[in-house]
């Protein structure tokens, strides 16, 4: 039987981004890819990202996180999920610990991030510095200017999408800026094709963005390993960075996603801050029958 059987979880969302939070501090349990897929497939625990809290490994951090997509692959960062983790570690009766205050420092595969409460159900996450060099994103071939790279969808003389900006915000992102409503594009078809394009050796999150005002952006996102999502925090951060580099906006904007709004600021010290809400839907325990023998392998 899987060691995750009967374990308690929180079902949450951050601006519509479906999140499951699982606290494994004080144990040696690790989530296998098959177990993550099984959790994602169950109606009560379906997620865009599974945020697993482990004991801290680095000095000065409060916990380390492992982040899983619905296909069982791991993600380097998830801003919406990090806000949900902050709520769990600070407010949930079963997960909160007395020593923890309104600020947390968390280790992810994408780097160390800090998070602080700004309202009862709102948190700001310091997502760190964006990576902009072609080999940091990474891309399969050199591009000296990553503000726009040579990539398009559709005919050469009349492409549907072309020349995305690319940014790594813990995960690789490609952002296509368009003049018409992002809802008018078939991202469910375009997303998986571009996510797995050879130019992205680690795959990529694919976004379609429309700058609707100097401080507002409308955004839709296809997340690698998860698909269409109502919100993606790292994509919102990457989009503001990419738009700012093209001088389409200043260094901050409110990003409108299908699930809600995120406020993004690219500070002068190069750190990207994301502020947004969290919501608790329910808590529960994983039923043993959720995990097939291969799921716990």
Residues marked as catalytic: 78, 232
Cβ-proximal residues to 18 (8 Å cutoff; 6+ apart), any chain: 11, 46, 47, 48, 49, 229, 230
Long-range contacts at 54-58 (CB < 8 A, ≥ 24 apart): 54/24, 54/25, 55/25, 55/26, 56/107, 57/107, 58/107, 58/112
Structure token pair of residue 185: 């594009």
In terms of Cβ atoms closer than 10 Å to its own Cβ (0-12, 13-18, 19+), residue 283 is middle
d(CA 279, CA 52): 18
DSSP state of 296: G
H helices of 178-255, in order, are 187-195, 233-245
Structure token pair of residue 90: 């600070």
């Amino acid at each position: 039987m899987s060691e995750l059987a009967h374990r308690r979880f929180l079902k949450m969302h951050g601006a519509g981004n479906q999140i499951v939070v699982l606290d494994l501090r004080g144990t040696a349990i690790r989530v296998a890819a098959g177990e993550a897929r099984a959790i994602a497939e169950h109606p009560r625990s379906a997620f865009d990202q599974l945020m697993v809290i482990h004991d801290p490994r680095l000095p000065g951090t409060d916990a380390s996180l492992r982040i899983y997509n619905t296909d069982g692959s791991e993600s380097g960062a998830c801003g919406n999920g990090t806000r949900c983790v902050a709520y769990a570690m600070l407010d949930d009766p079963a997960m909160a610990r007395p020593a923890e205050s309104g600020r947390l420092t968390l280790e992810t595969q994408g780097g160390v991030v800090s998070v602080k409460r700004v309202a009862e159900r709102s948190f700001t996450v310091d997502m760190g510095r964006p990576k902009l060099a072609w080999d940091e994103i990474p891309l399969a071939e050199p591009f000296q200017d990553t503000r726009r790279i040579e990539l398009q969808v559709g005919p050469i003389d009349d492409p549907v999408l072309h020349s995305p900006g690319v940014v790594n915000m813990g995960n690789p992102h490609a952002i296509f800026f368009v003049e018409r409503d992002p809802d008018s594009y078939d991202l469910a078809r375009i997303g998986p094709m571009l996510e797995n394009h050879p130019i992205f050796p680690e795959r990529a999150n694919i976004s379609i963005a429309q700058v609707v005002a100097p401080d507002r952006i409308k955004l839709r996102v296809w997340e690698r390993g998860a698909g269409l999502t109502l919100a993606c925090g790292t994509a919102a951060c990457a989009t503001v960075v990419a738009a700012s580099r093209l001088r389409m906006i200043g260094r901050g904007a409110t990003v409108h996603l299908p699930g809600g709004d995120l406020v993004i600021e690219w500070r002068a010290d190069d750190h990207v801050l994301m502020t947004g809400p969290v919501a608790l839907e329910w808590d529960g325990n994983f039923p043993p029958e959720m995990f097939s023998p291969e799921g716990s392998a």
